Structure 1
Amino acid sequence: MWPAAGEAGPGGRLAADGASGDLADHRHLVKALHSAFIEYWRSGDRDLSPGLARVVDYWFRYHVAKAVIAAALLIVLVALTVLVWKAFLKAGGLGAVARAALASAGVLATMLALLSLAAVMANIQGALAPFASLIPMLTEGATDQELATTLDQASQQLADSSLAGARTPPAIDVMIADFSRYHAVMAVIAAIAAAAFLGTGVLLWRRFARTASSDRRTRRVVGSFGVLSALLTLGLIVHAAANASTAADRGPALLRALNGGW
């Protein structure tokens, strides 16, 4: 998740330090990444080159900053969501317009909370595998012939690495390992989130069963959140399984990423 070209964004400004302040500008970040990746590939070493290490370190701090911001926002939005829906349940004496406004505010707060949760998950993933999360930028605006040649070489070496007995360059080993970690991290995060929503759903359906049939407003709200929890649980289980599968067979997915897919 990146700011638009030319914009630092709050995460970028917080992540920048004296040695990487220029990277807060997205165009400069992409340009620095392209140059650093060419340098790293040419070095033939396993350890990241100084230029690439600088970019990866900045990108790690960028995701940490955004994860903290998103987590704080998530806490606020969850609290707001609970307050709004509680107010809606107690709004029996209010007019239809006021109740509709509360319901709309509750839906909006719920959706924003889910978006914040997605941001937390994505930025934790990016912080734990920053090199892999930079890979899509390698093909962003890639008009330089030297970069195109380097990416072609990397793609060919990656494709050849699947052959029995083929020698894998150290840089490819590093990229494969980080790419695998990138997807394994999301598989774990999604599984944890799925378990949390599953538990929440069980509690909601128990409350639904205990709520008197005459209390239709409470039953509608609790039932709706129960259905939402079930859908989110299923979606997250699928997401976790897909990422676990990619982590186990990361070669083809990494090859697609180097060729501009993701």
Structure 2
Amino acid sequence: MTATHGPARRPDLRADCGQCAGLCCVALTLTASADFAIDKPAGEPCPNLKHDFRCGIHTRLRDGGFPGCTVYDCFGAGQKVTQVTYGGRDWRQAADFGAQMFEVFSVVRLLHELLWYLTEALELAPSLDGELRRALDGTEQLALGSAESLTALDVVAHRARINDLLLRTSELVRARVSPRLLNRRGADLMGADLRGADLRGADLRSAYLIGADLRRADLTSADLIGADLRDTDLRGAHLARSIFLTQMQLNATHGDTATTLPDRLTRPPHWS
């Protein structure tokens, strides 16, 4: 899918760590696991976070036991909250609003993720242009709100309203390639052998594809919103025209040079 105005052209929806106050390194909870080497409660800075808000082990996160950090994507919420909502202030300068800043970050991150999907949907479904543009403009305005308005926002209800539009977009796009509209929404496909599978137009929303083998599978127009792709093998898979796939999902997978990707996404450095 060739994007001219989509997410690939939205730098504000891509993380710019140099303009952020290390919010994800403080706001998020870490649980000791294969993804993180330590336990860390929300609101406590990661011990790898330096005074300048840079990561002390950024170039060796995977080898250092923090592959989960290389997967995470804030969709540009970090710099929005730091530079726009709080005007360049950070949680160290004024500890009294630190907890609020972390809460605002979580809300703006969800709003920015919705903006990513809505921006893509505008390209995919011209027949829904009016509704999608109103939803996108409304979500943009919410993300630009004050800290107080953001913490008061029922972001879950807003996401549910947007999801209806995204579902309609998905059905329109998937119907173009497959009349059968394979529905595997929320399916448990963990470790499934799906090598070479024809998944064109499949609804894979929120499907559990952890450790699944999707080598050479065709995911043209497959809806991947919320699909859990941790350790999924995508070597040689056709993803160039899949819909609603995010960089965060892709970062958790394994692929190679034969894996085709939408131009809005980049090939993860750890892929062979």
Question: TM tier, shorter chain?
Answer: under 0.3
Indicate the structure (1 or 2) with the bigger Cα radius of gyration: 1
Normalised by the length of structure 1, the TM-score is 0.24
Which structure would you say has the larger RCO, counting Cα contacts within 8 Å and 6 or more residues apart?
1
